[in-house]
Chains A and B, each alone.
Chain A
Amino acid sequence: MSIVNMEKIAVIGLNLQKEKLISDLMDVGMVQISQSSKEDDRAENKGHDVLELSKADGDEDYVSVIEGEMNRTNIALETLKRYSTEKEPIFFTRRHISKSMLSEIMEKRAEIESDIGSVLKLNSKLHICNEQINKYNGEIASLKPWAGYDIPLDKEGTKNTALDLGVIPSTVEITGLRDKIKAATDFADIREINRDKDYIYVVNISVRDLSDEVLTILKQYGYNQVPFKGFEGTVTDNLLRLEKEVDRLRSERSSIEKEISALTPKRKGIECLYDFLTMERDRAHIKSSMRRTEKTFNFEGWVPAPAKESVNKILDKYGCYYIYREPEDGDQVPVLVENRGAAQPFESVMEMYSLPDYNGIDPTNIFAFFYAMFFGIMLSDAGYGLVISIVTFVILKKFEIEGSMKKLLKMFFYCGLSTVFWGAMFGSWFGDLIQVGVKTLTGATVTIKPLWFNPIDDPTRLLIWSLGFGVVHLFVGMGINAYMLIKRGKFLDAVFDIFSWYGVILGGIMYLAGGSISPMLARVGIVIALVGAAILLITGGRNKKGIGKVTGGLGALYNVTSYVSDILSYARLLALGLATGVIATVVNTMGSLGGQGIVSFIVLCVVGIIGHTFNMAINVLGAFVHSSRLQYIEFFGKFYEDGGEEFSPFKIDTKYIKILNDNQEETK
């Protein structure tokens, strides 16, 4: 319904104008330029010698140069962000900057680049600092156990004695080892310096000539030498020195961090440069989708029909030759959906599923209503609805949120309104908080009458209504399918496959439920249902051969199970609605256990805030998920043709700034 018509465009222009044309096309952002691959060209231009004349355009080397620069900029931005002392806003919004402002900023590009350079330099200093701290800390850890050893570490013995440090596993009996050495020679000894869970730290002294022999004995006990190469002085001296060094490095690190955070104000300029580079990159990159000859270039692409005029204006301005054609069979047409008004934000529900096929249908207008309604019934509390609507409204007013986030927030705003409506119908305002609150404070009893009825008094009634809403929802979905079949000239298919089901389901309901109103209704109902069933039985196998003609009808009729389960699925409207209401009531009951008075009123407030926040969070999630599910499985299952590819035009795709035309207002 609201899938925008696309047309394929082919353009030929002069290379002289190419840069300016690309820049203007980017500003308009309404042309999706298709990738030109040689295979396509071969197929399309069979027998022509276009290929010999033209070659793929674009300079990927230049693109990667820019990407390298973007990468540097990005590292600088991330470093600044990490050490910035400024508070990050809760919602990220892009700054608005006019074109002339941006080019003014870009005049100081050299300055910005030197800022980036200094940030990166500080960043690498920081890295070196951290590495060194790690190294020294490692050395401290390995020296610590030896703190009791007071001979300088660079001393490896005297002329005739050898000194050797090492560890043996703590399971070894040290006296036994000693005896063993004593038995071998008198001119050696080991001494324990320290021990911990795993090791005994020992120093081994022996006559130099015998040191190899002693080592062999020690090795049998798992002795491992621990050489301290490059150290001078005693262990304690070294520990002191290293700890001092680490302290010095730590203070150096924090001063570097301070220096970085002092550069925070430069962030804005760097962000502008990043986005400027992004645009430059995109403009360079798009050329690889084009082809060129010596003097001319050409490209193909998709343009939404409503945007043709503004695109033509640009193409005419640069003297391009262009031609449009309607999409043909086999074209992979990109899909752009467009809705207006309150239904528009609900597009995001559909986008989360999958975009419709170009030849399919965009049901946003229809399911938006049902989505909000089901969300409202499942959340079913006017207080919660108010909170959602107010919070989303304030966020939308206060922050300039863009894109899918904005859609989602708007959607929740409408869903909140629907929740207020249904909550009032069921008489639930934060459960029975108002009644309980007044009673705790004054002892008086107030009643808030539901506009319709309270589901907890009569759940069966709401169950029937829920299933009824479900039947309507399903019928609408089937109706869309019938509409599409008829539009495509398959009127009989619509009668056989859809209207017959209307008969079966409606007739069945009349037969089951109408009996209590009038026996006549039940009798009419059974006739309608039987006629519907007969049509299904006869026509179900119409596209099959031989025995399939019979079994096909039976198979079609067997589908009744899937319709029954679809309808029953809407029982969740009742169950989730009850869950919210009852838990909310329980929260209030728990809060009011203190009896009457000011103190217990305060207790009620505290318990209420915690309890209702929890209950609301979990039930909003439930309502969101299950309302989506009812659309995806039950509703879309009846008609939706998905698999459309999103229309992704060549446009300004910046991260930090939003570029405005010079006549638009800008924010600081």
Chain B
Amino acid sequence: MISGSVMALFGAAIASLAGIGSAIGVGIAGQAAAGVLAEDPKKFGKTLILQAIPGTQGIYGLLMAFLIFIKTGLMGGNGLADLTMAQGLYILASGIPIGVIGLWSGIAQGKTAASGLMLMGKRPDQMVKGIIYAAMVETYAIFALLISILMLFNIGL
């Protein structure tokens, strides 16, 4: 039976897709990190920082999913609220931006972080610039999260 509440949960599910992007991104960065480490094992801590950077999209997806849970009452312990089809679709729509953009930006950020790791391998003093390059990509995931949040909070539920 498809009700508004089910649609809302679909929204949370779509939002959490951002985790795919992070998983791939962190994976790409991790491969590069291992390559850097092969040359100088002392850089483990530093490589870990750069590898973690594409992980944020997954967190944003999780965040959005939880916000939807709170909004729909799934987390409150009172059970799912009864939502109309239209309300459910509103919530579903709000999950899309971070889900889709998070997926792609996570991959792109992973590639940038991998290049940053290569940069760090050759010139450790330039590491922060590698981080900043990767953070440039993150801007768009942040914007997507913002759009998602504003959509969810301004529905008027």
Interface residues of A (CB under 8 A from B): 352-353, 459-460, 463, 568-569, 571-572, 574-576, 578-579, 582-583, 586, 589, 618, 621-622, 625-626, 628-629, 632-633
Please name 10 further chain A to chain B contacts, defined as beta carbons within 8 Å, in addition to the given A460-B150, A579-B63, sorted by A numbering: A353-B128, A460-B154, A463-B150, A569-B139, A575-B145, A578-B149, A583-B66, A625-B132, A629-B135, A633-B132
Q: Is B44 an interface residue (CB 8 A)?
A: no
Interface residues of B (CB under 8 A from A): 49, 52-53, 55-56, 59-60, 62-63, 66-67, 75, 128-129, 131-132, 135-136, 138-139, 142-143, 145-146, 149-150, 153-154
What B residues does A463 contact at CB under 8 A?
146, 150
Considering the chains assembled together, what is the distance between the CA atoms of A313 and B55 in angstroms?
57
Between A and B, 27 residue pairs with Cβ closer than 8 Å are A352-B128, A459-B149, A460-B150, A460-B153, A460-B154, A463-B150, A568-B143, A571-B143, A572-B139, A574-B146, A575-B142, A575-B146, A582-B63, A583-B63, A586-B66, A589-B75, A618-B52, A618-B56, A621-B49, A621-B52, A625-B132, A625-B135, A626-B138, A628-B128, A629-B135, A632-B132, A633-B136
A-B CB pair tally, cutoff 8 Å: 64
The interface centre, meaning the residue of B143, B149, B150 with most chain A CB atoms within 10 A of its CB, is B149
Least CB distance from A261 to B in Å reads 22
Q: Which of A459, A576, A586, A628 contacts B142 (CB 8 A)?
A: A576
Whether B146 pairs with A571 at a CB distance below 8 angstroms is yes
What A residues does B128 contact at CB under 8 A?
352-353, 628
Closest 10 pairs between A and B when the two form their complex, measured CB to CB: A352-B128, A575-B142, A572-B142, A625-B135, A575-B145, A629-B135, A582-B63, A575-B146, A571-B146, A586-B66
The closest CB in chain B to the CB of A589 belongs to B75
Considering the chains assembled together, what is the distance between the CA atoms of A568 and B56 in angstroms?
20
Considering the chains assembled together, what is the distance between the CA atoms of A569 and B129 in angstroms?
19
Whether A459 pairs with B153 at a CB distance below 8 angstroms is yes
Least CB distance from A186 to B in Å reads 59
Considering the chains assembled together, what is the distance between the CA atoms of A67 and B21 in angstroms?
50
Interface of A is mostly: helix
Q: Which of B63, B131, B154 contacts A578 (CB 8 A)?
A: B63
What A residues does B138 contact at CB under 8 A?
626
Least CB distance from A595 to B in Å reads 10
The closest CB in chain A to the CB of B127 belongs to A352
What A residues does B135 contact at CB under 8 A?
625-626, 629
The closest CB in chain B to the CB of A574 belongs to B146
Whether A571 pairs with B142 at a CB distance below 8 angstroms is yes
Considering the chains assembled together, what is the distance between the CA atoms of A310 and B112 in angstroms?
49
Whether B53 pairs with A621 at a CB distance below 8 angstroms is yes
What B residues does A460 contact at CB under 8 A?
150, 153-154
Considering the chains assembled together, what is the distance between the CA atoms of A175 and B145 in angstroms?
73
Whether B132 pairs with A629 at a CB distance below 8 angstroms is yes
What B residues does A353 contact at CB under 8 A?
128
What A residues does B153 contact at CB under 8 A?
459-460
Whether B132 pairs with A628 at a CB distance below 8 angstroms is yes
Considering the chains assembled together, what is the distance between the CA atoms of A600 and B97 in angstroms?
37
Considering the chains assembled together, what is the distance between the CA atoms of A583 and B67 in angstroms?
10
Considering the chains assembled together, what is the distance between the CA atoms of A628 and B49 in angstroms?
15
What A residues does B60 contact at CB under 8 A?
575, 579
Least CB distance from A587 to B in Å reads 11
The interface centre, meaning the residue of A574, A618, A622, A628 with most chain B CB atoms within 10 A of its CB, is A622
What B residues does A578 contact at CB under 8 A?
63, 149
What B residues does A621 contact at CB under 8 A?
49, 52-53
Q: Which of B53, B59, B75, B131 contacts A579 (CB 8 A)?
A: B59
The closest CB in chain A to the CB of B60 belongs to A579
Least CB distance from B53 to A in Å reads 7
The interface centre, meaning the residue of A576, A625, A628, A629 with most chain B CB atoms within 10 A of its CB, is A625
What A residues does B149 contact at CB under 8 A?
459, 575, 578
Least CB distance from A57 to B in Å reads 31
Considering the chains assembled together, what is the distance between the CA atoms of A583 and B60 in angstroms?
10
What B residues does A582 contact at CB under 8 A?
63, 66-67
Considering the chains assembled together, what is the distance between the CA atoms of A630 and B145 in angstroms?
18
What A residues does B59 contact at CB under 8 A?
579, 583, 618
Considering the chains assembled together, what is the distance between the CA atoms of A628 and B130 in angstroms?
13
What A residues does B132 contact at CB under 8 A?
625, 628-629, 632-633
Whether A625 pairs with B143 at a CB distance below 8 angstroms is no
Whether B146 pairs with A629 at a CB distance below 8 angstroms is no
Least CB distance from B1 to A in Å reads 28
Considering the chains assembled together, what is the distance between the CA atoms of A629 and B49 in angstroms?
16
Considering the chains assembled together, what is the distance between the CA atoms of A626 and B153 in angstroms?
24
What B residues does A622 contact at CB under 8 A?
56
What A residues does B142 contact at CB under 8 A?
571-572, 575-576
Considering the chains assembled together, what is the distance between the CA atoms of A353 and B131 in angstroms?
12
The closest CB in chain B to the CB of A351 belongs to B128
Considering the chains assembled together, what is the distance between the CA atoms of A582 and B59 in angstroms?
10
Whether A618 pairs with B55 at a CB distance below 8 angstroms is yes
Considering the chains assembled together, what is the distance between the CA atoms of A572 and B135 in angstroms?
11
Least CB distance from B68 to A in Å reads 11
Considering the chains assembled together, what is the distance between the CA atoms of A578 and B75 in angstroms?
18
Considering the chains assembled together, what is the distance between the CA atoms of A448 and B45 in angstroms?
37
Least CB distance from A360 to B in Å reads 19
What A residues does B56 contact at CB under 8 A?
579, 618, 622
What B residues does A572 contact at CB under 8 A?
139, 142
Least CB distance from A589 to B in Å reads 6
Least CB distance from B99 to A in Å reads 15
The interface centre, meaning the residue of A576, A579, A629, A632 with most chain B CB atoms within 10 A of its CB, is A579
Least CB distance from A63 to B in Å reads 25
Considering the chains assembled together, what is the distance between the CA atoms of A339 and B154 in angstroms?
46
The closest CB in chain B to the CB of A457 belongs to B153
Considering the chains assembled together, what is the distance between the CA atoms of A460 and B153 in angstroms?
8
Considering the chains assembled together, what is the distance between the CA atoms of A579 and B128 in angstroms?
23
The closest CB in chain A to the CB of B145 belongs to A575
Least CB distance from A539 to B in Å reads 32
Considering the chains assembled together, what is the distance between the CA atoms of A586 and B63 in angstroms?
9
Least CB distance from A418 to B in Å reads 20
What A residues does B63 contact at CB under 8 A?
578-579, 582-583
Considering the chains assembled together, what is the distance between the CA atoms of A307 and B52 in angstroms?
45
Contact (A583, B150) CB under 8 Å given A618-B56, A621-B49, A628-B128: no
The closest CB in chain B to the CB of A573 belongs to B142
Least CB distance from A10 to B in Å reads 32
Least CB distance from B135 to A in Å reads 5
Considering the chains assembled together, what is the distance between the CA atoms of A575 and B142 in angstroms?
6
The closest CB in chain A to the CB of B56 belongs to A622
Least CB distance from B124 to A in Å reads 12
Considering the chains assembled together, what is the distance between the CA atoms of A629 and B153 in angstroms?
28
Considering the chains assembled together, what is the distance between the CA atoms of A569 and B145 in angstroms?
13
The closest CB in chain B to the CB of A581 belongs to B63
Whether B131 pairs with A625 at a CB distance below 8 angstroms is yes
Least CB distance from A610 to B in Å reads 16
Least CB distance from A622 to B in Å reads 6
The closest CB in chain A to the CB of B153 belongs to A459
What B residues does A633 contact at CB under 8 A?
132, 136
Whether B136 pairs with A629 at a CB distance below 8 angstroms is yes
What A residues does B129 contact at CB under 8 A?
352
